[in-house]
Structure 1
Amino acid sequence: MAPKVVWLFVFVALYWAYCIFWGIKSARMAKTASDYFIAGRQISLWVFVLAATATSFSGWTFMGHPGLVYRDGFQYAYASFYTITIPFTGVLFLKRQWMLGKRYGYVTPGEMLSDYFQGDAIRILTVAVALLFSIPYLGVQLGASGFLFNVLTDGLVDANFGMWILSLVVLIYVGTGGLRAVAYVDTLQCVLLALGIVITGVIALNHAGGWDALQGGLAKLGASDIGKWGTTKGYGGGDYNAYFAIPGVIQWTAGLGKETPVGGLWTGIMCLTYMFALMGIQSAPAFTMWSFSNNSPKPFAPQQVWASSFGIGLILFFFTAFQGMGAHLLGANGEVTKAGIALAAVLPDLTANKQGGLVPHYFNTIGETVPWLVGLLAVCALAAMQSTGAAYMSTAGGMLTRDLYKRYLNPTASHTTQKLFGRMGVAFIVVAALLVATYSRDALVLLGGLAVAFGFQMWPSLAAVTYIPWITRQGATLGLAAGLLGVIFTETIGATITGGALPWGRWPWTIHSAGWGM
């Protein structure tokens, strides 16, 4: 067994021990249903700042984001501004939801919305959004963890086997400890997430030969027409290499699958509406429960301004750009290597839509020289993937219990019964996510794109409760339903449902489905 694999198992074992410790400790502290579902409204300032940041920026930020910067260039890197737009949702809604939760004793967003609108349809739709958000999102994250371990162990651990085993530990600590366990594990996961992105960026910069060498290589790449999207051909004010330019404000295309935009997908309006979609992370039902779980509103501002916008923002603008754009100069782009622009050949060619493996390949470049660091980075990536998933598992389990079981089947359910059904809800969500990830990767890709865009459709309902009294029950309920349909029929799943009969493809007019839904 290679030294890096031994170190990998050592660090994972230490990480698991920490997770299970907090699961058991939190289970002992959870005397009532609200203790279990929202940590007894007792989460402290620093725990929330770190936990909410870890929940907002998941394994997608760690593994997927650098891959897309590599695939689409700096035009996609503008999406790093989601470090500002995600917490902007929290700026608007979290404190007011916390006040309502404190005043009226709400545990779930369904309780708050159905109480305000005096109707149960909005409660059911909120649970539907929570499930449609949680299951695919969790499936994508857990699937990625299995893939990561498959790559790092050089095929020793099968991707599906790794995914099920890694998920078992999350199920144990989330199921036993509830949201308090999630919060305390997330504090460590936030630190690991940030540390991992920085170290991986430094590895990329080091392989490129430093800042000046990277700048020189990118300047040569920018002067060429090499790239997935070629050049912008007049869109955006000139004929530039599409890795380095936004292809216009908007393009009136029929959508992916019907018509391909010129010079790349990431027009100005696409970047904006994609960030709308990611704003759905903090307007999703899970974040309402995060707001209820605080003992005061003091943590909201530092989380939104310093941890998210400044801290993670700074890291993404530099270190994920080093990873993504640096990859072109390190062997990951065959055309660049052939043109003599590459600075090294430490990565395999990833141009055939293999960008998802970029980050694990960076880890492998130091496998021989610093094997212990590969183990640490693997745990950083694992923590990033599980941080978001754990919060969605816990909160969706709470909503299934409070909004369906307690509301309709057993209104007098005791605290013990509610905790039991909460744990069963968590298990149901994990198993559903794993089954989809194991047996239907295609369905996972289709559903994964819906998750955050669905969360964004909660905006009008939350605005009604917190700011705009004239939004009616019918308006909020029908608006939410219409928004969900709008998202579905401007995503790939819409074309699949209709057998390709729609006159548009995915994201027509280079507007993201979240924008169409709203």
Structure 2
Amino acid sequence: MDLAFSGWSGILILAVYGLIMLGVGVLTFLKNRNMHKSLDAYYLGGRGLGVMVLFFTFFATQYSGNTVIGYPPSAYRQGFEYLVSVPFFIMIIMAYLLFAPRLYTLGKKYKLVTPAQWFEKRYKSKAVTILASLLMLYGLGNYLLEQLVAIGQGVSGLTGGTIPYQLGVIFFVVIMLIYGWLGGMRSVAYTDTIQGIALLFGVFMLLIGSIIYFGGLPTSADYMQVFSPEKLGIPDAPGVMNWLSLLVLIGIGAAVYPHAIQRIFSAKSEKTLKRSFSRMAWMPFLTAGVVFIIGIIGINAFPDLSTAESEQLVGMMASTIASQNVIFYWAMTLLFGGVIAAIVSTADSILLTFSSIISNDLYGNYINPEASQRKKLLVGKLVGVVAVGILILVAWFPPATLYQIFVLKFELLIQISPGLILGLYWNRLHTKAVFTGMIAGTLVASLMTVFNLSLLGIASGLWGLLLNIVICVSGSLIMNVSAVEENEAKKVVAL
């Protein structure tokens, strides 16, 4: 028996995981037929997710294709400098703790379904709500594109190229649309739990196999010392500044993911939410730390790969390890099945939130306010299908590496954070200042990104955020908020 990942063995693995995800969608639909009549039930799982399910759905949101498939190649190319990827995820948890418990309480109080509804409730401004919604849709579309690229690369790597990249994308997108359409948030959360367990087990087995068959970190360090000494060094001053800027950019940006905020609203209780976060605090070391080590070991295992070739690193390492031992074969089977299931689950949760913003915040509020909840759901689903079709065309020939796609979305998504977070605590935050700050920050970040402008090694999104915050704070101090407006804001944010 050929234990290497190739041909029909890989296809069988993908078929089994696909059937499991479809089965979860069908069973969820049969047990919760009424969910398609309510935005709350469909998009938030009836606000009843428990600790374990909530933990794994947060886990799948933060650690998906960009982590397991995209991070080892980045570590391969950059060397030990990429150790910064571990604090990325620590910063995300810290950012959550700034606002998540308070936002959960207010979300439950006002029955909020989407983060855009918080902007509407807090600022009572059509302009602010629409702008925040568009920025969130941009971030979600970008993140969904990343997942589609990761699906194609994962399927191609798992089957040894038997299933082409493009066909892999289409196959799993169809499965995603079916089970997501049937089961909503509950389907996503349950599949997250299944794939999360498989993913954690598989990643650790990949690490163990890498150490056994490729020699581990000492061997890679010896190789780098001779052939790639630059990958052993620490970054220079501009490099450190770039590290720090990415920590802030990704820490805050990932915490305000719209689909992550919907998971905050989905928690059964505030206690459940906090217990889930306490478990998430260990994951940067157990997931990002492990895949970083795998990427470093890959430098010695597969030297001198080009950028395009290195994007297939995890598949190459897993295939080699699987060919050595039947135990590792099944472990790598579980890993890659879990990886692809994780990517699909993340993509589906992104699509779910994308659809909810379209159906509830744009269509339901401004296009057809008289629409029933069933009709809003239908509109959101149909627009989601169209959006996926457009993104498939883009993903057909991916425009950048996974990491480049990953960073790009934060430049604009992070511009919603002052209005979102400051508005939870500061009653005198002025609506016009929030809108102006968001617009200015978006323009600065966009122009700097488009024209590839760099200043002091700081990410363009952070320059936009800095201007955004300055305008929000100074504008609110200059433009007096009336007593009526301040009292209204106090009532809104009161717990």
TM range (shorter): 0.7 to 0.9
1:130-209 equivalence runs, <5 A = 130-209=136-215
State how far apart, in whole Å, the 2-side matches of 1:187 and 1:315 are. Answer: 15
The yes-or-no answer on 1:303 pairing with 2:276 is yes
- Offset of 1:440 from its aligned partner? 6.1
Contact 1:276-1:514 at 8 Å conserved across structures: no
For residue 357 of structure 1, the aligned residue among 309, 312, 315 is 312
Contact 2:90-2:284 at 8 Å conserved across structures: no
TM-score, length-scaled by structure 1: 0.82
State how far apart, in whole Å, the 1-side matches of 2:240 and 2:44 are. Answer: 39
- Offset of 1:368 from its aligned partner? 3.1
The yes-or-no answer on 1:274 pairing with 2:277 is no
Give 2:457's aligned residue: 510
1:320 corresponds to which letter in structure 2?
V
State how far apart, in whole Å, the 1-side matches of 2:199 and 2:248 are. Answer: 23
State how far apart, in whole Å, the 2-side matches of 1:429 and 1:220 are. Answer: 46
1:326-475 equivalence runs, <5 A = 326-330=297-301, 332-333=302-303, 349-369=304-324, 370=326, 371-438=329-396, 441=399, 448-475=406-433
Size of the aligned set, in residue pairs, is 455
Give 1:110's aligned residue: 116
| Change beyond 3 A, Cα 1:517–1:195 | farther
Contact 1:450-1:487 at 8 Å conserved across structures: no
1:174 match: secondary structure: helix
For residue 224 of structure 2, the aligned residue among 206, 210, 221 is 221
1:400 match: secondary structure: helix
- Pairwise CA RMSD: 2.4
1:21 corresponds to which letter in structure 2?
G
State how far apart, in whole Å, the 1-side matches of 2:255 and 2:50 are. Answer: 19
For residue 242 of structure 1, the aligned residue among 205, 211, 230 is 230
Give 1:325's aligned residue: 296
| Change beyond 3 A, Cα 1:321–1:192 | same
- Comparing 447-456 and 480-489, the one that deviates more: 447-456
Contact 1:53-1:303 at 8 Å conserved across structures: no
Deviations 1:461-495 (A, max 9, x none): 1123212222211121122222222322332xx12
For residue 27 of structure 2, the aligned residue among 25, 30, 35 is 25
1:161 corresponds to which letter in structure 2?
L
State how far apart, in whole Å, the 1-side matches of 2:462 and 2:119 are. Answer: 23
1:510 match: secondary structure: coil
Deviations 1:20-73 (A, max 9, x none): 223223334114221112112111221111111110112111011111111101
Contact 1:397-1:423 at 8 Å conserved across structures: yes
- Offset of 1:117 from its aligned partner? 0.7
2:439 match: secondary structure: helix
1:299 corresponds to which letter in structure 2?
T
1:299 match: secondary structure: helix
State how far apart, in whole Å, the 2-side matches of 1:117 and 1:304 are. Answer: 29
TM-score, length-scaled by structure 2: 0.85
2:218 corresponds to which letter in structure 1?
Q
State how far apart, in whole Å, the 2-side matches of 1:515 and 1:81 are. Answer: 18
1:248-267 equivalence runs, <5 A = 248-249=236-237, 251=238, 267=239
For residue 285 of structure 1, the aligned residue among 251, 258, 266 is 258
State how far apart, in whole Å, the 2-side matches of 1:209 and 1:192 are. Answer: 25
Q: Which runs of 5+ in 2 are unaligned?
A: 466-495
- Offset of 1:352 from its aligned partner? 4.7
1:413 match: secondary structure: coil
State how far apart, in whole Å, the 2-side matches of 1:76 and 1:53 are. Answer: 21
